[in-house]
Amino acid sequence: MKIFKVICNGNAWSNIQSGLALLIMMLIFSACSTINIEAARSLSETGRSIAVKTQENIFLSDIEYLRARDSEAIFHGFNGTVKNKDYDEILKQYDAIHQELAKRSVVLERIADAYDAFGDLSSMDASNQTETALAGLKAAIDEYAKLIGEVIPIGSNVIGIISKISGLTAVEIQKAKIKEASIQIRNRVKYFKTILSSDIVKKQMNGFKKFMSKNNETAFMIFFDKNVFDLTPILDYIGDYAGIAAQKDAHKIVESNKELKDAITEVISKRLEYKIDLIDQSYEVSLKSLDRLIAEHKKLEQGEELDLTRLREIVAQLRELTVLFAKTKTTDSKNH
């Protein structure tokens, strides 16, 4: 014991402390040395694409919800029930859906910002931008959670958590910052996915899916029964398979024939249902995309090889849904 005390006196003990500190730093940064900077850059690009495409589909879903709200107004206006209390309650429910979609859209916009900053971090020191983007994402998720009525604990303030990282070499510092940023993004995406997949949101969407399908068809039938619509575009669309077009005043023939009118009504009904199905598909794909992002972030942090192929397939699915949404708006009028 005396010998140990002598050795540890003065400069000897100071040297041991320095050595221990150096060893600890080396152990910490060796855990980050497996971070693949190029993989982080690729993940940032794919993550941003998913956020942007999902947000585009939300805008289209919101348009359909507002269209359904208009259908509700048409129904009650036509039947003289606009003073009905039930009508006021239904409008409040539509407004709640609209607010949820708007808040969800803001979160996705902030996710895209976070991935932009994450991508910059893989090529330069964008610590401050990344921390700002992460703070903005946290604030957006907090607002979304408050609207839905969920309490999600997303850590504390991130300012300084990345920019204050230091180490032995510039490369190791960069890798350590990328890893920390990845953890922070992953946690936030995970919390957002938890809220988005909650029973509250699912029940809200499933309930309104039935409302929307019924109300859109009812509003259409109000005008259809009064022969307000020109059916030429849809008749031309049906004939287009055989390279033919509807004859002049063909819509009058349909209007005067119950069987033909019922047939067109069924076509319109299925088209309206298809739009609602697209909203469902978009929602399910968005949940799947968030799960995949979380999984790929974990791989990045553990130094494993990423599988971005599946994520890119999801981006393609989201892009296809956007196109299908657009087609349902233009198909009827492209030959008009």
SS3 311: helix
pLDDT at 35: 86
Least confident of 18-32, 179-193, 208-222, 261-275: 18-32
pLDDT: is 204 or 78 the higher one? 78
For 210-260, the DSSP string reads HHHHHHHHHHHHHHHTTT-S--HHHHHHHHGGGT--PPTTHHHHHHT-HHH
pLDDT higher than threshold 70 for residue 329: no
Q: What is the mean pLDDT of residues 271-289?
A: 85
pLDDT at 63: 81
pLDDT higher than threshold 80 for residue 7: no
The band of 306, judged by pLDDT with boundaries at 50, 70 and 90, is very high
Torsion from C-alpha of 34, 114, 120, 46, nearest 10 degrees: 70
Q: What is the mean pLDDT of residues 197-215?
A: 76
The band of 255, judged by pLDDT with boundaries at 50, 70 and 90, is confident
Length of the chain: 336
Rounded CA separation 288/279 (Å):
14
Query: pTM for the complete prediction?
Result: 0.80
Least confident of 44-48, 57-61, 326-330: 326-330
Q: How far apart are the first and last CA of the chain?
A: 98
Least confident of 23-37, 133-147, 261-275, 305-319: 23-37
Per-residue pLDDT tens for 11-31? 554 455 444 444 444 444 444
Rounded CA separation 64/221 (Å):
18
